[in-house]
Amino acid sequence: MALSALRRSLRPALCAALLPLCLWCAAACAQVTPALLAPGEYALDPAQSRFGFEIRTRFGQRIEGFFPRYEGTVHVLPDGRHQVHLRLFTAYVEIPGKPRYTGWMRGEDFFDAPRYPTVSFDSQPFSPQVLGKGGPIPGILSIRGISHAETLTVMPAACTRAGYDCDVISRGTVLRGRYGMDKWDLALSDRVTFVLRARLTEASTR
């Protein structure tokens, strides 16, 4: 009887101690649960999405550029998995405030826009949980007519409806020399990091 009384007396204290942990777990689960989308294609919101890249000089200076013109869709498959398709138009790539750098990036030593008008990324099907919890999205990246398997890494979402109420942020680092952009090695690093911040339109395009 004494043991039973002790158990009864400990229950309120134990519940009070565990309540904050339970609330934290519930909040964490809510943050990583993505909104469920019906099968179809969803376009990226051009007003709220941004596709950029970073490259460093051999002296540590970071050069940032972006692609103001692009096309992007998220294809939701019948089984619920997602596929991403991106097209970035190289003729419009820009290094803000640096017209000479912009010309170099569009020229034959880098993206060579007249010959290769797009950079593309087509992902493999992936779980929608990646958009909430974060994780890798493997796919095929094509630059200057050369294609390689690369991986975008999605950051954990800051909201429950990632892609609508907050950005889906992903990063992927590639070696530009693998894509024929092997000039200026003495001045620029071989590593180029793509930084993608994406939002979706509310309705499926089909």
Q: What CATH number is attached to the domain comprising 105?
A: 2.40.128.110
8 found inside a domain: no
Residue 179 falls within a domain, yes or no? yes
- What's the N-to-C CA distance of the chain in angstroms? 68
What is the total count of domains within the chain? 1
Residue 16 within any structural domain of the chain: no
Residue 34 lies in a domain: no
**Owning domain of residue 155:** 40-198
Nearest Cα residue to 74 out of 15, 30, 125, 115: 125
pTM here?
0.79
- Structure confidence by residue, pLDDT tens digits, 14-23: 444 444 434 3
Beta-ladder partners of 173: 193
Give the pLDDT score at 28: 42
Q: Render pLDDT for 87-115 as a digit per residue (tens, 0 to 9).
A: 999 999 999 999 999 999 999 999 999 99
User: How is residue 41 written in tokens?
Assistant: 């294609």
Q: Which residues contact 137 (CB under 8 A, 6 or more apart)?
A: 84, 123, 124, 126, 130, 151, 152, 153, 154, 170
Query: Mean pLDDT, the chain, as a whole number?
Result: 85
Q: Which residues pair with 44 in a beta bridge?
A: 200
Domain presence at residue 162: yes
- Residue 200 forms beta bridges with which residues? 44
